[in-house]
Amino acid sequence: MRTNRLRAAVPVALLAGALAVGVSACGSSNTSTPAANSSSPAASSTAPLATVPNVSGVSTSVKLDPSFLAALKSLSLTPGTVGKATLDASTGVISFPITSGNVTYYKPGGPVEPYVQGILHHDGSGLSLSAGGTTVELTNFSVDPGKSILYGDVSANGTTAATQTPLFFLNGSTLQPLMKQGNDAILTGTKVSIYPSAAMLLDTTFKTTAVTPYFPVGVATITIATS
């Protein structure tokens, strides 16, 4: 397992948007499903507009908020990556590869809520925070768009602290319209912040009170291959 990581939030916010993007992108090929054309009004109103049973690649990235980076510096915390995650120090963008998942998309404002359901996994990668001989790792992120939460495993100095615990809260109210780039669908604008329990864990681990609930982490962008 891994440690609560501020960086982990990045994937989460982006993922929530990504799910909606991936499903929307596939909508054009699923507009004539039997369920959607059912003669029963009730059946058609609750049928999904699109379903992506097997999501794979590309990545979820987060543009880290300057205040978040400043907070890390003030606490003398050194960020790092785990597995195939990447961190561009010059741009402040951290990225995590999507490894698997599934998404089902219903009509926004319709009878089914939440209208985006599913899960996005980022196995084998994550973030690390180090200070004073203590290293916390947040790994194996899972984004649940229906709950607007990013989960992950947490460890401190190699010892498991929690498994698939809430790490970041995803606010999709600022999501931008879906964009297309080649065969990829891109969704950006989801704000990522630290989940209350994760903030408490970081404060306890690093003996501080500086990490507060819903502290801004950054803005997420998710890129999903549509073919």
Tell me the per-residue pLDDT of 80-98, one tens digit each, with 9 for 90 and over: 999 999 999 899 999 999 9
Residue 169 has a pLDDT of: 94
Q: Which residue has the tokens 């790792």?
A: 137
Which stretches of the chain score pLDDT less than 70?
Answer: 1-44, 50-51, 177-178, 225-227
CB neighbour list of residue 130: distance below 8 Å, 6 or more residues apart: 77, 78, 80, 136
**pLDDT for 119:** 87
Residue pair 189/174 in contact (Cβ under 8 Å)? The answer is yes
Structure token pair of residue 190:
């989801």
pLDDT score of 107: 76
Show the tokens assigned to 173. Answer: 């109210």
- Which pLDDT score, from 0 to 100, does residue 22 have? 36
Return the pLDDT at 120.
86
In this prediction, residue 227 carries a pLDDT of 64
Rounded to whole angstroms, the Cα distance separating 188 from 223 reads 9
> Which tokens is 128 given?
């690390």
**Distance between CA atoms of 13 and 57, rounded to whole angstroms?**
16
User: What's the pLDDT score for residue 38?
Assistant: 42
Distance CA(56)–CA(33), nearest Å, equals 23
Amino acid 44: pLDDT: 66
